[in-house]
Amino acid sequence: MTAKLRVALVFGGSSVEHEVSLTSARSILAAIDRGRYEVVPVAVTKEGRWLTGPQTLAFLQGGGQARAEGSPSALLADPSVRGLVALGADGATGGAARTPVDVVFPIIHGRHGEDGALQGLLEMSGLPYVGCGVLASALGMDKEASKRMLRDAGLRVVEYVCLRDRRWERDWETAERMVAEGPGIPCFVKPSNGGSSVGIVKVKTAEQLRPALEEAGRYDHKVLVERALEAREIEVSVLGNEDPQASVPGEIEPVNEFYDYHAKYFDDRSRLLIPASLTEGQVREARRMAVHAFRALGCEGMARVDFLLDRQGGGLYVSEVNTVPGFTPISMYPKLWEASGVPYPRLIDRLIELALQRHRRNSRLETSYGAGSGRGSAP
């Protein structure tokens, strides 16, 4: 009998998307094949503490309403450990017990979960993990940086300006002029680093601009101001490493003016149209651009590429690349793959397979150079 793979499912986190992460983790836990995998739940509290043990399941099933309890644990930047270690009351490891792990499935959305920070720790721990690496995660999280990369790769992005370090407070005239000469009004104001539409405001008049900047500035030091298109919201899921594949496109018809946090997670009146009503040419272009964007940012494993389809000009623009897409029951990433012939449990299998494949590939890289390394010696 083949031994089960031990999968550490890491959820929660210290971002404003903590509750969304819990919903995603519950869905994964319900769909994962228990005949193939032994799941080790790892709850990360809003304070950043890592907890393991059966109590974390109560916290997860309670949607975060239950008290966060469990055995304090840590993932060490030491490849010889190959898992989690228990922490003592003083935070020290000492001769603490170890929980071996074969692969990590991080499903923390937002800050410290999909911005490259957690991925860096996982790289240093030497453990295989699901999803993108450090650079792609950081770029995907930072909308301004990713837009520059996508634009340089020849992909269309909506016109925007970036305001840094609350510069509008120090020099309102310059900030106002940058917006007027760039994207103009109406526009969308959003934190550069963020997700789930938290902090996004649609600005329709000049008087609304400053309050919108203040709202977005609560969540990040970089704020984007983007031209507001009359557009359809199209999404494509991408899966793979060296040979990524794109799903059928889907479309979101939000109940509100745009797909904000409330519409995403609390109001079931928004419509998810799968597949999207597009021409064959538009479908091909959306899938081609999704794979192009995935490669442009160096993504691996998974990502969801979001587009804006201009209702007037018909152009397709890359809106953003989400490297830890939602896995909730209503999330587009798994739904699009299901419509493409990959059911939820098989999608989880494939993501774990891709994580192990990438780890094996990266483990073959040389880590020494010089005499005796097999690559020659330095001059």
CATH number for 112: 3.40.50.20
Average pLDDT, the chain: 88
Q: Does the active-site annotation cover 353?
A: no
Is residue 41 scored above 90 in pLDDT?
yes
pLDDT at 375: 47
Does the annotation mark 322 as catalytic? yes
- Residue 179 sits in a domain of what CATH number? 3.30.1490.20
24 noted as active-site residue: no
State whether 209 and 299 are in the same domain.
no
Per the residue annotation, which of 12, 13, 17, 24 is the catalytic one?
A: 17
Give the active site residue among 322, 333, 344, 358: 322
Residue tagged active-site, from 265, 317, 333, 344: 265
The tens digit of pLDDT for each residue in 130-159 reads: 999 999 999 999 999 999 999 999 999 999
Q: Residue 314: inside a domain, yes or no?
A: yes
| Catalytic option among 227, 232, 287, 304 | 304
Catalytic residue among 73, 125, 192, 196: 196
Model pLDDT, residue 258: 52
136 occurs within a structural domain: no
Does the annotation count 326 as an active-site position?
A: yes
Residue among 306, 317, 331, 358 flagged as catalytic: 306
Of 304 and 57, more confident: 304
Confidence at residue 63, expressed as pLDDT on a 0 to 100 scale: 58
The boundaries of the domain holding residue 355 are 231-360
What is the per-residue pLDDT for 59?
Answer: 76
Distance CA 238, CA 241 (A): 10
Note whether 166 and 207 are same-domain residues.
yes
The total number of structural domains in the chain stands at: 3
67-121 pLDDT, tens digit each: 667 788 999 999 999 999 988 765 555 556 788 999 999 999 988 899 999 999 9
Residue 65 pLDDT > 80, yes or no?
no
pLDDT of residue 376: 43
**Whether 193 is catalytic:** no
Which of 227, 250, 280 is the last residue in one of the domains? 227
Q: What's residue 377's pLDDT?
A: 42
How far apart are alpha carbons 259 and 254 in whole angstroms?
Answer: 5
Task: Please check whether residues 222 and 263 belong to one and the same domain.
Answer: no
pLDDT value of position 204: 93
Same domain (yes/no): 22, 65 = yes
- Residue 236 maps to which CATH number? 3.30.470.20
Give the domain-ending residue among 199, 227, 255.
227
The pTM for the full model equals: 0.89
Residues 223 and 237 in one domain: no
- Active-site choice (83, 140, 199, 326): 326
One domain, residues 168 and 210:
yes
Residue 367 lies in a domain: no
In a domain, 142, yes or no: no
218 and 236 part of one domain: no
Domain assignment of residue 334, yes or no: yes
Return the pLDDT at 217. 87
259 and 192 in a single domain? The answer is no
- Say how many C-beta atoms besides its own lie within 10 A of residue 375's C-beta: 11
pLDDT of the residue at 372: 54
The answer to whether 362 is a known catalytic residue is no
Mean pLDDT value across residues 269-292: 94
